[in-house]
Structure 1
């Protein structure tokens, strides 16, 4: 045996394999525990987020069955609670539309089914033909997936159950109407959503993501860390879920403040101001992506980074955080607007200190993103652009002498 291969006497330093054998399993256990804790937290957040929807769905299903069975004397009102749950399962902000689609789809299915039964009777090929025609008519009239599904399903029920169940058409239509109406009643009156809470819950992840990646870009610019800037760009590009959730939330907030008498006062308050926030936030995400991408190129090309440039990006990140806080408080975001203009001032200082090609693009994107965020606070695009130009200051080529 070679001496170097023998273990050291007296309990010397263990080999790498020995260390891995002792440390590996414990590190694996720690990783598994962390993943389990994170998964548990994620599922808990999910339950808290949809807990209200579950209660709404349960109440709507019970009430729709009660109305159909007890008041209208429909013997088996199965489709009333199904329609109610289907309406509530739609994304918040689309429930009124889902109710209308539900009724249209059922009406199309009943009409096509009854007409064809009168002409060609019932059977396996008649069933197929009814479904095809019901779907084609639904697509022609509305084109919504919900209408198509309801039309096809209703045509199947009419074709298969009409021979054995008399007068199926009217109860089916009434069930759809009752279910949708009760679902809207639950949403608007009995258990209404708080539109401001809906907006805050959806805006928080999008704004947190944007602020975090702008912060990472600040550190990358100050430290010349290209890898960190690239990582920030990759993370910001994964924003589709956050933006889509915010778009749905703005629809939900508008719907809740329109349908629910409890929330009518919100229409001219915070919800009214923030109802159109999704689009400018989406634009600010995309423009920040361009900012970070050019920051990566700037660092790769070793361009000059004036001290004011990372400060401008840092002020922009603080604007996003301040906007989030004022969203949550239901305040008019005056401080966020002022903060955005501070970012533009710093960008103007950096431009006049002297920047390269990619640096000029970074500065331009600070201006554009600040304008987007100001539109998100409720300003018009023209007003935001005018304030940004004024805050940026004199436009002259970097390094050019001041004219007298």
Structure 2
């Protein structure tokens, strides 16, 4: 008699532990190439996004060395290239500020170091006191980490090298000034960033994330399946990196369009409009999170879901996609506005057909998110609210006795 517990229902040979182990190893081995390819793609994307920064840093370091060594005749122009690279290492959009902080920090370090050396002389405890006071003064004047670091580092140089190197103070200040100025020259004139490209690269992940999760929520509402809506809520909550990149990109675009003569004409065009969109897009993502959370509750509680409700959420997702495409093209986002208002119309229809408590919140969040998107397209908050109210239609309460 065949033992089914040992040989299986069909009489096959029993599965041995080493067979399971080999199968597990085979699965892991099969996943390794896919993971490696994903890592390679991510690193390639990162390289494409930052290779321009590497070229800018190399050019700025070389030019600052030439200016200080060949024009100003400083024999060892070490600090000018360091200052140039330090300025360029700052986030895009903060380089002008970094240059000012660099000069302030060096000035504080030079002044504190010189004054104290005259009074207390040199030595290990003098070095400690000079660095402490330089950092305290820098914190009092600015509080910026860059100013504090430069003040402390310069104070160390002054306290340790002044006894053996004469007239160190003026070259250190000149190096900081030349390095920062050359870095700005490179970014503004010689190798300027394209502000529209910077914005597109940063906004694409944020807007793709928003539209994808709204689409998933629309599908969840249409099918009355709560799992996709829960997943969408989790995914949308993990948007901090995307929003941070977008905010930094708007700062960089403003800086590039102000500093670079090549892009001056874009300050009040696509770049200006795009740069002003970061805050309302942030609000739209937060309001969409509320929308999705209430959609989860709506499905769980078994509330009525009028047919126009999923249509409204899907229309909102399409408006986000249109906004992304029209921003990328530098076009006036009229189609995105029209699509957003169509989503509001559908939300109004859903409300008048009859919704429950959470359904009313979903409808309200469609209105609020559309208002945010309209502001992102360049409309004032007042005009956006007016268009949303007009598109939504009458606030007729649901008829008692009807579904919902």
* Number of corresponding residues: 401
Which residue of 2 is the match for residue 368 of structure 1?
Answer: 368
Structure 1 position 262 matched with structure 2 position 262: yes
Q: Which structure 1 residue ranges, 5 or more long, are not aligned? A: none
Q: Is the 8 A contact 2:6 2:14 kept in 1?
A: no
Q: What is the rounded CA distance, in whole Å, between the counterparts of 2:155 and 2:289 in structure 1?
A: 49
Q: What is the rounded CA distance, in whole Å, between the counterparts of 1:400 and 1:51 in structure 2?
A: 64
Q: What is the rounded CA distance, in whole Å, between the counterparts of 1:233 and 1:19 in structure 2?
A: 40
Deviations 1:105-126 (A, max 9, x none): 0000000000000111111111
What is the TM-score with the length of structure 2 in the denominator? 0.96
The alpha carbon displacement at 1:20 in A equals 3.4
Deviations 1:362-393 (A, max 9, x none): 00000000000110001111110000000000
Structure 1 position 151 matched with structure 2 position 141: no
1:175–1:380 CA distance, 2 compared to 1 (3 A):
same
Q: What is the rounded CA distance, in whole Å, between the counterparts of 1:344 and 1:131 in structure 2?
A: 61
The alpha carbon displacement at 1:2 in A equals 6.7
1:190–1:7 CA distance, 2 compared to 1 (3 A):
same
Q: Which range moves more in the overlay, 342-351 or 8-17?
A: 8-17
1:11–1:133 CA distance, 2 compared to 1 (3 A):
same
Which residue of 1 is the match for residue 348 of structure 2?
Answer: 348
Structure 1 position 323 matched with structure 2 position 323: yes
Q: What is the rounded CA distance, in whole Å, between the counterparts of 1:309 and 1:196 in structure 2?
A: 35
Q: Is the 8 A contact 2:2 2:11 kept in 1?
A: no
Which residue of 2 is the match for residue 138 of structure 1?
Answer: 138
Q: Helix, strand or coil for the counterpart of 2:267?
A: helix
Q: Is the 8 A contact 2:207 2:321 kept in 1?
A: yes
Q: What is the rounded CA distance, in whole Å, between the counterparts of 2:211 and 2:149 in structure 1?
A: 41
Which residue of 2 is the match for residue 41 of structure 1?
Answer: 41
Q: What is the rounded CA distance, in whole Å, between the counterparts of 1:9 and 1:176 in structure 2?
A: 80
Q: What is the rounded CA distance, in whole Å, between the counterparts of 1:346 and 1:23 in structure 2?
A: 52
1:260–1:389 CA distance, 2 compared to 1 (3 A):
same
Deviations 1:94-141 (A, max 9, x none): 000000000000000000000000111111111111111111111111
1:69–1:390 CA distance, 2 compared to 1 (3 A):
same
Structure 1 position 359 matched with structure 2 position 353: no
Q: Helix, strand or coil for the counterpart of 1:93?
A: coil
The alpha carbon displacement at 1:228 in A equals 1.4
The alpha carbon displacement at 1:254 in A equals 0.5
Q: Helix, strand or coil for the counterpart of 2:293?
A: helix
Q: Report the aligned-residue RMSD.
A: 1.8
The alpha carbon displacement at 1:11 in A equals 8.8
The alpha carbon displacement at 1:268 in A equals 2.0
Which residue of 2 is the match for residue 275 of structure 1?
Answer: 275
Q: Helix, strand or coil for the counterpart of 1:268?
A: coil
Which residue of 1 is the match for residue 89 of structure 2?
Answer: 89
What is the TM-score with the length of structure 1 in the denominator? 0.96
Deviations 1:141-200 (A, max 9, x none): 111110011001100110111111111100000000000000000000000000000000
The alpha carbon displacement at 1:316 in A equals 0.2
